[in-house]
């Protein structure tokens, strides 16, 4: 009979072989690790000693119950072999962490708690697991601007991503509704741009819409972000920062009007949502300020990719500004579109000179100006990704359907507030990034896939976890597993996997629907259908042929 824990691993490993017997951990648990595995071994000891109450200590390989062996290379593959004497994980250093998290899934689910439960036998079934990911980019974006997420929320989310072998956390740090990163050269970004007086109810699109009357805000200090980066790196996750330019810049221009298109115009941090015409200007003093901001950002985030947004930027403010038109003439630039190309090229070169790569939303492919190693995130469907790949650029697939987890998980009126209906767990699991790819020879440019947690209508931490899980579990398997099971088999495995999330305390959506206290009710979180997913997809498909948003 298959061992239940071995048969319910998520994401699905490439090869699993069950053997007879089991490994029972007893204090003191000896852990052996070579030099390249020391950091991962330390993490294993800290996490498991807290959860199990067992004492973990370093030991010689011959006496150890857990052995970590580093192989050469930078692949994420790993081999885990468990017998009655020991568990041995062999992998390049970047893959060892995945082997550790698979071992944790083989132990009783209570090892995801923060303190030991009485009477648990800490055993793992004898087996061999050989595994490697399909994609190198397995990401999740969290929008911390529309509704701020405290540092501890981000750290907790990193733990959950690591549990599912996800390896990219994309933080959306600036938008019209808030600026969330401390920049020492420009203190008004945190003094003014980091908070707003209230927030429109639902997907409010006008300052005249009803609002909650409650101030909202917050920001991360540079040390907070360094802590997040280090915490994530220890768990095999790279943090990608995003500063959205030139659009979605209302909060920035509220703090520094001289960086906007009309400096005499009074702008306040956005309290409602949608596409704003408050762009930064492309004048020399603003370009210099943005370079200073990015230099401070690069000192915090070591990731090779720096996300500069580039989405939903209507260019009429550039067309209508006398100062911008005069500057364009001085450069010999004939149109706002050409100025947008210049803007992108400038920052692509700026990042390249510092050893970094620009990544942005798929509108940037229409204007040009990208460096050869730039990358795009294809969000308006898949056309942008195909176009970028055909032009030789790397691509991350992040289409609204089915990777936007701000859409409801069903069409039931019981669901809590969401931006529209509906992207189901089955929709996510069925996603095959290559299915509609016309020229399969360019699919090799696809780095991977990413889900998006936009937070206009995701109001608090519990709501965030509800919208994310278990859909993150499904996307993790899309991103990791070369060969997937059918949805029914996945759902059966997931039913057991959710016990692990229970022990961690995740506010996930049960498979049968929301719990009574998770429903939208009739108040602040009442379910509203702002967008019908089919209509939204048709609109996005038409818009995908151009860069500037139709307003």
* CB of 213 closer than 8 Å to CB of 196: no
Q: Which two tokens stand for residue 491?
A: 């759902």
Which one of 105, 131, 157 terminates a domain?
131
Shared domain check, 70 and 169: no
Shared domain check, 145 and 117: no
In a domain, 21, yes or no: yes
The DSSP letter of residue 279 is: P
What is the CATH classification number for the domain harbouring 168? 3.20.20.80
Q: What is the helix (H) or strand (E) element at residue 241, kind and residue range?
A: strand 238-245
In a domain, 521, yes or no: no
Q: What is the helix (H) or strand (E) element at residue 81, kind and residue range?
A: strand 78-82
pLDDT, residue 1, reads 63
Shared domain check, 182 and 89: no
Q: What is the helix (H) or strand (E) element at residue 503, kind and residue range?
A: helix 487-504
Shared domain check, 126 and 148: no
Alpha-helical segments (H) within 271-357: 284-300, 316-320, 322-331, 336-353
SS3 category, 240: strand
Question: How far is CA 177 from each of CA 253, 255, 328, rounded to the nearest angstrom?
Answer: 11, 12, 29
Shared domain check, 373 and 295: yes
526 C-beta neighbours (distance < 10 Å), count: 15
Shared domain check, 453 and 341: yes
* Rounded CA separation 186/172 (Å): 19
In a domain, 354, yes or no: yes
Could you list the residue range(s) of the whole structural domain that residue 36 is in?
6-131
Q: Which two tokens stand for residue 93?
A: 């250093």
Q: Which two tokens stand for residue 545?
A: 């042929």
* Rounded CA separation 490/474 (Å): 8
What is the CATH classification number for the domain harbouring 33? 3.30.379.10
Shared domain check, 146 and 91: no
Shared domain check, 375 and 494: yes
* CB of 68 closer than 8 Å to CB of 80: no
* Residue appearing with tokens 């949608």: 274
In a domain, 551, yes or no: no
pLDDT in tens, 106-159: 999 999 999 999 999 999 999 999 999 999 999 999 999 999 999 999 999 999
Q: Which two tokens stand for residue 90?
A: 């062999």
pLDDT, residue 545, reads 82
Number of folded domains that form the chain = 2
Q: What is the pTM of this model?
A: 0.97
Q: Catalytic: 98?
A: no
* Residue appearing with tokens 């976890």: 465
Q: Which residues of 366-405 are buried (b: 16+ CB within 10 A; e: fewer)?
A: bbebbbebbbbbbbbbbbbbbbbbeeebbbbbbbbbbbbb
pLDDT, residue 146, reads 98
Query: pLDDT 10s digit of each residue in the chain, 551 long?
Result: 678 899 999 999 999 999 999 999 999 999 999 989 999 999 999 999 999 999 999 999 999 999 999 999 889 999 999 999 999 999 999 899 999 999 999 999 999 999 999 999 999 999 999 999 999 999 999 999 999 999 999 999 999 999 999 999 999 999 999 999 999 999 999 999 999 999 999 999 999 999 999 999 999 999 999 999 999 999 999 999 999 999 999 999 999 999 999 999 889 999 999 999 999 999 999 999 999 999 999 999 999 999 999 999 999 999 999 999 999 999 999 999 999 999 999 999 999 999 999 999 999 999 999 999 999 999 999 999 999 999 999 999 999 999 999 999 999 999 999 999 899 999 999 999 999 998 999 999 999 999 999 999 999 999 999 999 999 999 999 999 999 989 999 999 999 999 999 999 999 999 999 999 999 999 999 988 778 888 888 888 888 888 888 76
* Rounded CA separation 394/384 (Å): 11
Catalytic-labelled residue, pool 47, 76, 312, 427: 312
Q: Catalytic: 312?
A: yes
pLDDT, residue 533, reads 84
Shared domain check, 218 and 299: yes
In a domain, 507, yes or no: no
* Rounded CA separation 247/175 (Å): 8
Q: Catalytic: 175?
A: yes
pLDDT, residue 277, reads 95
Q: Specify burial of residue 414 (Cβ count, 10 A radius: 0-12, 13-18, 19+).
A: middle
Catalytic-labelled residue, pool 170, 248, 307, 463: 248
* CB of 424 closer than 8 Å to CB of 409: yes
pLDDT, residue 438, reads 86
Which one of 131, 157, 190 terminates a domain?
131
Torsion of CA 419, 424, 425, 429, to 10 degrees: -110
SS3 category, 130: strand
The DSSP letter of residue 139 is: E
In a domain, 462, yes or no: yes
Catalytic-labelled residue, pool 81, 143, 175, 362: 175
Q: Which two tokens stand for residue 418?
A: 């969401």
* Rounded CA separation 524/467 (Å): 16
Number of C-alpha atoms within 13 angstroms, CB side, residue 341? 13
In a domain, 451, yes or no: yes
Number of C-alpha atoms within 13 angstroms, CB side, residue 10? 31
Shared domain check, 166 and 55: no
In a domain, 269, yes or no: yes
DSSP assignment of 24-69 = E--SSEEEEE-GGGHHHHHHHHHHHHHHH---EEE--TTT-SEEEE
Q: Which two tokens stand for residue 308?
A: 């500069």
* CB of 144 closer than 8 Å to CB of 172: yes
Chain Cα centroid distance, residue 254: 27
Shared domain check, 96 and 152: no
Which one of 131, 157, 182 terminates a domain?
131
* Residue appearing with tokens 């768990």: 235
Shared domain check, 268 and 380: yes
Q: What own/partner pairs with CB < 8 Å and gap ≥ 24 does 407-411 have?
A: 407/531, 407/533, 408/527, 408/529, 409/467, 409/471, 409/509, 410/513
* CB of 533 closer than 8 Å to CB of 351: no
């Amino acid at each position: 009979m298959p061992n239940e824990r071995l048969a319910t691993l998520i994401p699905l490993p490439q090869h699993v072989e069950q053997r007879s017997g089991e490994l029972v951990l007893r204090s003191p648990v000896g852990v052996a690790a070579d030099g390249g595995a020391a950091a991962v071994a330390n993490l294993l000891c800290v996490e498991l000693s807290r959860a199990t109450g067992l004492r973990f200590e370093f030991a010689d390989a011959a006496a150890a119950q857990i052995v970590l062996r580093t192989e050469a290379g930078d692949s994420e593959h790993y081999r885990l072999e468990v017998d009655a004497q020991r568990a041995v994980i062999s992998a390049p250093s970047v893959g060892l962490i995945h082997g550790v998290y698979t071992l944790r899934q083989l132990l009783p689910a209570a090892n995801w708690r923060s303190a030991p439960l009485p009477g648990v036998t800490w055993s793992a079934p004898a087996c061999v697991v050989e595994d490697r990911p399909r994609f190198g980019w397995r990401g999740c974006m969290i929008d911390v601007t529309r509704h701020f997420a405290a540092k501890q929320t981000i750290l907790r989310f990193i733990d959950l991503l690591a549990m599912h072998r996800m390896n990219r956390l994309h933080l959306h740090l600036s938008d019209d509704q808030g600026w969330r990163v401390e920049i020492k050269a420009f203190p008004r970004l945190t003094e003014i741009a980091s908070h707003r007086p209230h927030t429109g109810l639902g997907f409010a699109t006008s300052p005249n819409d009803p609002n909650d009357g409650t101030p909202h805000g917050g920001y991360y200090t540079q040390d907070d972000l360094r802590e997040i980066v280090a915490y994530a790196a220890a768990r095999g996750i790279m943090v990608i920062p995003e500063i959205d330019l030139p659009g979605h810049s209302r909060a920035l221009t509220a703090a520094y009007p001289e960086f906007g298109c009309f400096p005499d115009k009074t702008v306040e941090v956005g309290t409602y949502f949608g596409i704003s015409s408050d762009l930064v200007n492309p004048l020399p003093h603003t370009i210099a300020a943005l370079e200073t901001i990015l230099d401070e950002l690069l000192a915090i985030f070591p990731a090779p990719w720096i996300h500069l947004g580039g989405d939903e930027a209507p260019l009429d403010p550039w067309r209508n500004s006398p100062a911008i038109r005069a500057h364009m003439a001085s450069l010999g630039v004939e149109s706002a579109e050409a100025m947008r190309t210049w803007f992108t090229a400038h920052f692509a070169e700026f990042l390249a000179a510092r050893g970094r790569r620009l990544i942005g939303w798929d509108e940037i492919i229409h204007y040009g100006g990208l460096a050869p190693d730039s990358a795009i995130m294809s969000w308006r469907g898949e056309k942008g990704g195909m176009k970028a790949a055909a032009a030789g650029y790397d691509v991350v697939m992040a289409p609204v359907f089915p990777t936007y987890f701000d859409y409801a998980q069903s069409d039931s009126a019981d669901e809590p507030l969401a931006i529209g209906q509906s992207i189901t767990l089955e929709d996510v699991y069925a996603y095959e990034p290559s299915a509609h790819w016309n020229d399969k020879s360019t699919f090799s440019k696809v780095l991977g896939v990413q889900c998006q947690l936009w937070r206009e209508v995701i109001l608090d931490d519990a709501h965030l976890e509800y919208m994310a899980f278990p859909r993150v579990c499904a996307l993790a398997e899309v991103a990791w597993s070369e060969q997937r099971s059918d949805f029914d088999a996945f759902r059966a495995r997931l039913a057991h996997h959710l016990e692990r999330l229970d022990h961690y305390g995740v506010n996930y959506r049960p498979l049968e629907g929301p719990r009574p206290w998770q429903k939208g009710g009739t108040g602040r979180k009442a379910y509203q259908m702002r967008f019908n997913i089919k209509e939204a997809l048709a609109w996005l498909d038409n818009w995908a042929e151009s860069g500037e948003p139709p307003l």
